[in-house]
Amino acid sequence: MKIVHISDIHTGKSHFLPELAEKVIKRINEVKPEIVVVTGDLTNEGSYSEFVRAKSYIERIECEVKVVVPGNHDARNVGDLCFEEIFGARSKILQHKGVTVVGVDSTQPDLDEGHVGREKYEWIERCLTTDWTDSFKVVALHHHLISVPKTGRERNILTDAGDVLELLLRCGTDLVLCGHKHVPWVWNLNGTAVVNAGTACSSKVKWNIPPSFNLIEICEAGEGDEGRREAGREAGKEAGKEAGREAGKEEWGMKIFRMYSKGGQELVWEKK
């Protein structure tokens, strides 16, 4: 299973690099991902024309399964309504070939800081604990949950980051995808990969960090490991979610590649 994670394309006159966007689309189509996740800031000012332009680029990515969530720039100027009209619900769940992707809206109208909110916690937990023994669980949101190096003074981290992290880890989340800071990074938090994407195709970069996106390759254990999967299911029945997750969590391997928009790539994290 290949998942491509892009973020912060910022369509608009100021920072968007259309020629680079063309290269990114070409590179993604060469990868042939089965899921594409876009973690927000599709626009710069949240205008309708910017959303239409963003959609025109995203539609050209050759992948039927896409999860798109808004970023803080998309929530400007009543952009949340534009987002819903063009991309659908701001929070959503998708299940595909054993992978569950929960897209969470972390934006607030006309504010840069992020907030998930207690009203979403129960929904997120339900999404992540359904069929929990078999599914590889991904949560995607715009704002970063953990500070990212080489981004200067910390601003705009989720105001409820601690509660959200506790919820995601308790529910056995395997992978968290974020954007916002325009700097790629991977944190390993108790076995959960928390992955930030850089900006894919804008000039809003920090220092000399080039535009990039992420490629995540997930592999399930082979048929010979069915006994371990069954043990996870049985442990879950006997001892609850946490025991089942501990018994079955080694079913999945993962590699994370940083894909540079102008060319080149590097393996930045691996879980065997």
pTM value is: 0.90
Of the pLDDT bands very low, low, confident and very high (cuts 50, 70, 90), residue 222 is low
CA gap 58, 25 in Å, rounded:
8
- Please, what is the angle between helix 226-239 and helix 241-248, to 10°? 170
Task: State the distance between the two ends of the chain, measured CA to CA, in whole angstroms.
Answer: 15
As a whole number, mean pLDDT of residues 209-233 equals 70
Of the pLDDT bands very low, low, confident and very high (cuts 50, 70, 90), residue 221 is low
Note every long-range contact of 187-194, with CB atoms under 8 Å and residues 24 or more positions apart, other chains counting. 187/146, 188/269, 189/146, 189/165, 191/249, 191/271, 192/168, 193/254, 193/256, 193/269, 193/271, 194/145, 194/146
As a whole number, mean pLDDT of residues 27-36 equals 98
CA gap 220, 253 in Å, rounded:
6
| Residue 61: C-alpha distances to residues 57, 186, 248 (Å) | 7, 25, 33
Model confidence over 111-163: pLDDT tens digits? 999 999 999 999 999 999 986 557 899 999 999 999 999 999 998 899 999 99
- Domains belonging to the chain, first-starting first, are 2-226+252-271 (3.60.21.10)
Query: What percentage of the chain exceeds 70 in pLDDT?
Result: 88
